[in-house]
């Protein structure tokens, strides 16, 4: 008697879950969140790598002038602060390219893209977070290049001549 009541209820619950909750399928929001998390992680690692390379390069280029003139530490710190927008504008495009390629390459080698495709997601669903995150990084880079870089270069040159 208990099984007679439970079986129709179980089938109704399964129908409800398939229809409204997409039971047995990956939800697109979960996939998008996963791809964005992975892309962001690889971008940040690559950004820090390229940032350190370009920042150390700027420090080494300034070291000779700083040591000759015996500049106070506060002025050296200010010069390094004025170098940051230039370093960011150099490292963001490289980090975006290398980070996204590393992330997508790892996804391909781990067959994650194949799993997404087998789950019913098209390439446009997989590529959408890549394009959106790339556009966000481009807008931030445009702001840094258009507003912060000229301002910091002007202050940097002014500080360097004094």
Residue 29 is predicted with a pLDDT of: 79
Closest CA to 82 of 159, 30, 1, 162: 159
Residue 26 is predicted with a pLDDT of: 55
Residue 101 is predicted with a pLDDT of: 95
Residue 109 is predicted with a pLDDT of: 93
**Residues 2-24, buried b or exposed e (16+ Cβ, 10 A)?**
eeeeeeeeeeeeeeeeeeeeeee
* Residue ranges in the chain whose pLDDT is less than 50: none
Residue 79 is predicted with a pLDDT of: 82
Residue 64 is predicted with a pLDDT of: 75
Per-residue pLDDT tens over the stretch 71-111 = 787 888 888 888 889 999 999 999 999 999 999 999 999 98
Residue 123 is predicted with a pLDDT of: 85
């Amino acid at each position: 008697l208990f099984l007679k009541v439970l079986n129709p209820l179980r089938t109704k619950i399964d129908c409800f879950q398939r229809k409204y909750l997409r039971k047995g399928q990956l939800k697109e929001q979960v996939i998008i969140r996963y791809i964005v998390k992975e892309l962001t992680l690889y971008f940040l690692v690559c950004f820090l790598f390229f940032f350190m390379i370009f920042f150390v390069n700027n420090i080494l280029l300034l070291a000779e002038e700083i040591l000759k003139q015996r500049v106070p530490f506060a002025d050296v710190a200010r010069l390094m602060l004025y170098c940051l927008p230039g370093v960011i504008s150099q490292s963001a495009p490289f980090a975006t390219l290398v980070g996204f390629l590393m992330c997508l390459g790892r996804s391909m080698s781990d067959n994650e893209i194949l799993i997404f495709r087998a789950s019913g997601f098209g390439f446009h669903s997989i590529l959408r977070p890549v394009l959106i995150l790339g556009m966000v990084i481009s807008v931030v880079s445009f702001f840094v290049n258009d507003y912060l870089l000229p301002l910091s270069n002007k202050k940097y040159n002014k500080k360097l001549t004094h």
